[in-house]
Amino acid sequence: MKKKQVQEMIYQLEDLDTSRMYQSDFFHTWQKSDEEIAAVFRVAEVLRAFREMNISPRLYDSGMGISIFKDNSTRTRFSYASACNMLGLRVQDLDEKTSQIAHGETVRETATMIAFMAEVVGIRDDMYIGRGHTYMKEVAEALQEGYDDRVLEQRPPVINLQCDIDHPTQTMADMLHVINYFGGVENLQGKKLAMSWAYSPSYGKPLSVPQGVIGLFSRFGMDIVLAHPEGYSVMEEVEQKAAWEAEVSGGSYQRTDSMEEAFADADIVYPKSWAPFSVMEERTALAESGNVHELDKLEKKCLEENAKHTNWECTEEMMERTNNANALYLHCLPADITGVSCRQGEVASSVFDRYRVPLYKEASYKPYIIAAMILLSKFYDPSEKLKDLIESPFPRVY
């Protein structure tokens, strides 16, 4: 990429008001303005260009990026580590299995104790509905209190690495992929997106991806269709937000219980399993009361219910229905691939194989998206910082 082009991208960033992002948490995309969302994409693209130009984007000589992962994660863990490393931050993970947090420390105390040197706190907590986002807010409030009380020298922002409601680092990586695939955000107006439930032999997959997708993609003038079998509804507030955003941006929002209908003439499809919101609520309550027997019964019931919808699969026939039989297939990975990772799953292996390379490109944006979120929350004038970096470049590899 030419230096001129990247400089142009940095100049365009100046026109976007990112002042409200400074020292702010990133919980849900719908809490951010269009300019703020655009700024994340812009900074992510600049950072990617910097890497290709061998320009180091390191803005810290030392500093800590804290991470809290309440469940297993490979790609998000690596993306967060890569984003921090790019900027010069060292990741310190709060491993609840090897820390005293298990011994009854309050959220407030732990949050303070791990944040004395923290520049940013990334959290993944998506397992229980009503819990993940609540936990992140508690941490953020504790950090604010610590700062207000002059216990912390600064207020490290919280970055949502997936909660029970939204998964902004994922959906923004997805969206940046879509923007590049269609040659610019200006080409998305009128495109049809099918965010569809798909069958999976496992139960209890988080709602944050479908919710995050309709919450974010609805901002770009697209025709959004959410498809799922009866009973698999997502959070009402998110749907309302998505519907409103779609209307405002000149698109539309619709729900259907037919995958076929959703796929008809779609330009983008995102077939993915999730658990019904009501089931997730029930599961959270049972898990908290420690009722293992009822949890087992719930799982059994859900799997039986799921099994009625094995035809919700992204097959070649289903793809045929899309615009020119050529819709862009999205997935957050890993997918349940029929005959590969399971007997029957979300997607036919021939479809998945055809989109494997684009899917991996989609995933490759995540480290840059996370780094952009961090950068925008830490620097009041991001374009000035990026200009410094490009004008007096320091090589990443010597």
* Contact residue for its own copies among 4, 102, 290, 324 (CB under 8 A): 102
**Nearest distance in Å: CB 310, its own copies:** 18
Only one of the segments 10-18, 85-93, 242-250, 288-296 lies at the binding site for its own copies (rule: CB under 8 A); that segment is 85-93
User: Which stretches of 156-251 are DSSP H helices?
Assistant: 168-181, 208-217, 236-248
* Contact residue for its own copies among 2, 4, 72, 290 (CB under 8 A): 72
The end-to-end CA distance of the chain, in Å, is: 19
Binding-site residue total for its own copies (CB under 8 A)?
A: 69
Does 51 bind its own copies (CB under 8 A)? Our answer is: yes
Residues constituting the chain: 398
Chain-centre distance for alpha carbon 209 = 7
Q: Give the footprint of its own copies on residues 174-203 (CB under 8 A).
A: none
Which residues contact residue 16 at a Cβ distance below 8 angstroms, ignoring those fewer than 6 apart? 35, 36, 38, 39, 42
Asked if 64 and 115 count as a contact pair (C-beta separation under 8 A), the reply is no
**Nearest distance in Å: CB 201, its own copies:** 11
Sheet harboring 252-256: ordered strands across?
252-256, 223-227, 192-197, 268-272, 328-329
List the x/- string, 338-377, binding to its own copies by CB under 8 A: --xxx--------------x--xx-xx-xx----------
Does 153 bind its own copies (CB under 8 A)? Our answer is: yes
Does 64 bind its own copies (CB under 8 A)? Our answer is: yes
Asked if 224 and 251 count as a contact pair (C-beta separation under 8 A), the reply is yes
Rounded CA separation 70/43 (Å): 28
Nearest to its own copies of 41, 379 (CB atom): 379
Rounded CA separation 318/347 (Å): 10
Does 264 bind its own copies (CB under 8 A)? Our answer is: no
Amino acid at 113: M
Which residues contact residue 240 at a Cβ distance below 8 angstroms, ignoring those fewer than 6 apart? none
* Contact residue for its own copies among 2, 4, 61, 293 (CB under 8 A): 61
Q: Which residues bind its own copies (CB under 8 A)?
A: 51-52, 56-64, 69, 72-75, 77-79, 81-82, 85-86, 88, 90, 92, 94, 98-106, 109-110, 112-114, 116-117, 146, 149-153, 333-334, 340-342, 357, 360-361, 363-364, 366-367, 378, 385, 388, 394-398
